[in-house]
Amino acid sequence: MEDEAEMYDGIRAQFPLSFGKQSKPQTSLEVIHSATRRTTATNLPENPKLSSSIANKPTADIPSLSSSSRTWLTSLRHQKPPIPKPNSSANGGPETDEAELIGPPRPPPAAQLGSDDEDEVIVGPPRPPAGQLDSEDEEEEMIGPPRPLPGPNVDESGSDDDDDEEEEEEENQYRIPLSNEIVLKGHTKVVSALAVDPSGSRVLSGSYDYTVRMYDFQGMNSRLGSFRQLEPSEGHQVRTISWSPTADRFLCVTGSAQAKIYDRDGLTLGEFVKGDMYIRDLKNTKGHISGLTCGEWHPKNKETILTSSEDGSLRIWDVNDFKSQKQVIKPKLARPGRVPVTTCTWDREGKCIAGGIADGSIQIWNIKPGWGSRPDIYVEKSHSEDITGLKFSSDGRILLSRSSDDSLKVWDLRQMKEPLKVFVDLPNHYAQTNIAFSPDEQLFLTGTSVERESTTGGLLCFFDRAKLELVSRVGISPTCSVVQCAWHPKLNQIFATSGDKSQGGTHILYDPTLSERGALVCVARAPRKKSVDDFEAKPVVHNPHALPLFRDQPSRKRQREKELKDPRKSHKPELPMTGPGFGGRVGTSAGSLLTQYLLKQGGMIKETWMDEDPREAILKFADAAAKDPKYIAPAYAETQPEPVFAKSDSEDEEK
């Protein structure tokens, strides 16, 4: 028996402790992702002028088929009669008991058709050859209309199908992840800033509610809550957030004149200095003197930062020195003055800087030895209103510009006199609306704002870079505008921020078959169930005979009655007292203070001035003043005549 027990323990040690136990039921991924599935994956543009290739696509529910097949499929949807199994005696062919024939019944063979049937027109799809039909019936079921006969008319009947396949390939060639959607909520106003780190694990969102929220996909569950909230500058809107190339720090730009640097966990590392606003020349100040508009980290160097401001300058900073900037760039202006710089950006290699000026011009500087404020490329009046976003392509050939004049322009950096393409009817009401490229840069996308009389809502528009046409429009929110957007290359997920005056959030579009990690991880992670330790009941201790400091509060009714009796708390004027007094006060006949009343009653205070003659009260000090003069009498001793006082009235009355 002992040998069997030792043998059992030895075998049991090879298995985990959970072996044989019933595991908890787990929700399948299909059910999880079906809850986040979008109702409409893509919304095509209604205006045919925007994209002729999309406007000409069929929108019917039934795919392009021949007329006979379309009629048969429509009738089959409305009525579904029972389908009998084919019989060899009726059809003239072998029995097919194993496979059922789905679709219209087969016509009789040619031998059974008479001369009248040959002259009639055949209604419905043509019959397949006998040999091919028998082989298919024996092996598998036949679903849908039968295949047409091979012949000269095959190309004509199959032309529509080929067109459909080509159109489907055009739609799917971009592989835009739009099937599912989640929303990171928490802000109370429009989300104006967005930043996703290069690894795709953390998301930062800044809003007009003055806060920055930090989201971590690895530590976030299906409740989609942020793990930290920051307020960089009290009372200033958050305008731009940018990660460093190594993702260990991030830059936060607000409406104040000072940008801040935070580490990955949200701890403040430093704040750049503010310049002297009384110095006219901006190059002599050590920092910005007005509110910032945009900021971006250098794409290659983790120690360099670029910022733009309303004071009309761009500045390059060193992260290790918060007290002064490295370089001041003053844009070229048509007339002297200070024109705000609304946006700025680096190219992919960090060798070029582009700035959008409030006068509508785009100016580009190449960083080279001895470079200064004079721009290398100057495009005057590129837009009629403020420029809200600029974006370089990775190959350095294309520059995209987004403006408040409801337009998006594509520029060729080799020829900047005229834009390659101008996309209009893109409403933009926010100064932070940007542009983003897809990972392969075949597409670029931007958001639109909600107009008062419009019913489309906030959209995310996708454009083809090669064809320069609108590919798709995706509805993000029916009531909120879309401001910032990004397409992360590693996650293959699209981020779009939206909001209005009362709410704001970050929408994440993904596809379970195309995307990786990110939203897929946090959606599949269920929130932790509350245990008994999470509930804490506050103890209630009744101590009726405690000191006044530790005594329970009286009932509200009794406390209200006590406050009504107090003249200060009830704001009532004090009434005149008559009689012995009440509450520390005494009647008006005996004085106003309790201490005086008690002293008078005890005889310690005697008031004799009421009964004494004032003349006698003064003359009683006359003898002392004559014997020992101190103040006035010595000064007038030689010139002052001898005083003569009048006699008392009492003496006259006695006479």
pLDDT at 475 over 60: yes
| Mean pLDDT value across residues 501-515 | 92
| Alpha carbons 381 and 361: distance in angstroms, whole number | 5
- Three-state DSSP at 242 gives strand
**Structure tokens of 264?**
């990955």
- Count the neighbouring beta carbons within 10 Å of the beta carbon of residue 221: 14
466 Cβ neighbours under 8 A, 6+ residues apart: 442
Contacts of 280 (CB under 8 A, 6+ apart): none
User: How many angstroms separate the most distant Cα atoms in the chain?
Assistant: 176
Residue 132: the pLDDT is 45
Q: Which amino acid is at 84?
A: P
Pick the more confident residue, 52 or 38: 38
Helix, strand and coil in the chain, % to nearest 5: 20, 25, 55
Element (H, E) at 229: strand 228-230
pLDDT the model gives residue 163: 56
DSSP states of 91-129 as a string? HSS----SS-B-SSPPPPPGGG--HHHHHSPPPSSPPPP
Which residue did the predictor score with more confidence, 550 or 488?
488
The label of the residue with tokens 């050859």 reads: 129
* Euclidean distance between CA atoms 213 and 186, whole angstroms: 8
> What is the pLDDT averaged over residues 121-130?
55
DSSP per-residue codes, 265-329: TS-EEEEPPP--TT-SSGGGSSS-SS-EEEEEE-SS-TTEEEEEETTS-EEEEETTB-SS-SEEE
For residues 195 and 238, the answer to whether their CB atoms sit within 8 Å is no
**163-201 confidence digits (pLDDT tens):** 555 554 555 577 899 899 999 999 999 999 999 999 999
- pLDDT per residue as tens digits for the range 232-258: 999 999 999 999 999 999 999 999 999
Amino acid in the structure at residue 377: I
Mean pLDDT, residues 203-225: 93
Q: Which of 326, 199, 346, 183 lies closest to 264 in space, CA to CA?
A: 199
Residue range 284-288: mean pLDDT, rounded: 92
Out of 70-74, 106-110, 359-363, the most confident range is 359-363
For residue 472, what are the CA distances in angstroms to 437, 463, 532?
14, 7, 51
Hey, which residues does 288 pair with through a beta bridge?
none
Identify the structural domains of the chain with CATH numbers, from first to last. 180-527 (2.130.10.10)
Place of tokens 């092996």: 139
- In eight-state DSSP terms, residue 523 is H
- What mean pLDDT value characterizes the chain? 77
Kindly tell me if the per-residue pLDDT of 485 is higher than 70: yes
Q: What is the pTM of this model?
A: 0.62
- Mean pLDDT for 533-562 is 76
More confident residue, 141 or 618: 618
pLDDT tier for residue 134 given thresholds of 50, 70 and 90: very low
